[in-house]
Amino acid sequence: MDELVHYEVRDRVAHLVLDSPANRNALSRRLVGELYDGLGRAADDDDVVVVLVRAEGRTFCSGADLSEASSPDGRGMRETAGMLVDLQRRVVTLPKPVVTRVQGHVRAGGIGIVAASDVAVAEHDATFAFTEVRLGLTPAAISLTVLPRMPDRAAALTFLTGEVFSGRDAAASGLVTRSVAQEDLDADVDAVCAALAQGDPQGLRETKLLLGRHLVERIDEQGEGLAALSARLFGSEAAQAAMRAFLDRRR
């Protein structure tokens, strides 16, 4: 099968590229597994100083793969939720800085990748939404990294309404580092990666450890319970009905 996450190294930067057009880069178990493995490959690659996560197409990530998550007993989501917790932990604990380049749309679980990264640059007009509430769910697993980034009021508004907000809004709330015009996105991301690549590997590793300590503690303390909550809600009658209706509309 064709890979869903491509790996390439240029100028000491490992590019991990999400490329699953069939489901708009949704977090299928296969995609999450390939991204997890790609991060490990970058960590072990002596030619890599910085990791860049980006995506093909106009959707950075559409969130959970609902076709996998719609089993009535929640069994599919139980595994996926645990993998998503592990993926966030790998991003946070990777001994090299992780940058995300956010274009187009990013939804639900995909925002966890953005929040876990060290630097996130988005287009002004990128669109974000925590859509879980509209499907009878809650952003359980990704709250591990999202809530430490956002003020309580901003989190309450976006979590509870599920409304779409822009890259500008995401930057104002601290969810992303900054937003830039679409035509400036690549140049800005390249500049960030080049600046990070000037760092000494030991300095980068120890500084990232210092900055991410509270996130690691949060993931280790709450990750298992929040993954279980996510699986329970995905298996609920209300969520199953909402997901079936959503998938029917898409078809």
Closest CA to 223 of 81, 21, 32, 55: 81
pLDDT tens-place string over residues 55-111: 999 999 999 998 887 655 556 677 889 999 999 999 999 999 999 999 999 999 999
Give a yes or no: residue 74 inside a domain: yes
pTM summary value: 0.95
pLDDT tens-place string over residues 191-238: 999 999 999 999 999 999 999 999 999 999 999 999 999 989 988 999
Give a yes or no: residue 30 inside a domain: yes
Asked if residues 145 and 123 have their Cβ atoms less than 8 Å apart, the reply is no
Q: What does the buried/exposed string (b/e) look like for 154-188 if buried means 16 or more CB atoms within 10 Å of the residue's CB?
A: bbebbbeebeebbbbbbbebebbbbbbeeeebeeb
Asked if residues 122 and 186 have their Cβ atoms less than 8 Å apart, the reply is no
Give a yes or no: residue 196 inside a domain: no
Give a yes or no: residue 142 inside a domain: yes
The number of distinct structural domains making up the chain is 1
Could you give the CA distance from residue 161 to residue 105 in angstroms, rounded to a whole number? Answer: 17
Question: Which H or E run includes 165?
Answer: strand 165-166
One-letter identity of residue 88:
Q
Q: What is the DSSP string of 43-89?
A: HH-TT-SEEEEEESSSEEE--B-HHHHT-TTSHHHHHHHHHHHHHHH
Give a yes or no: residue 207 inside a domain: no
Q: What is the CATH number of the domain that holds 38?
A: 3.90.226.10
**Domain with 114 in it:** 5-183
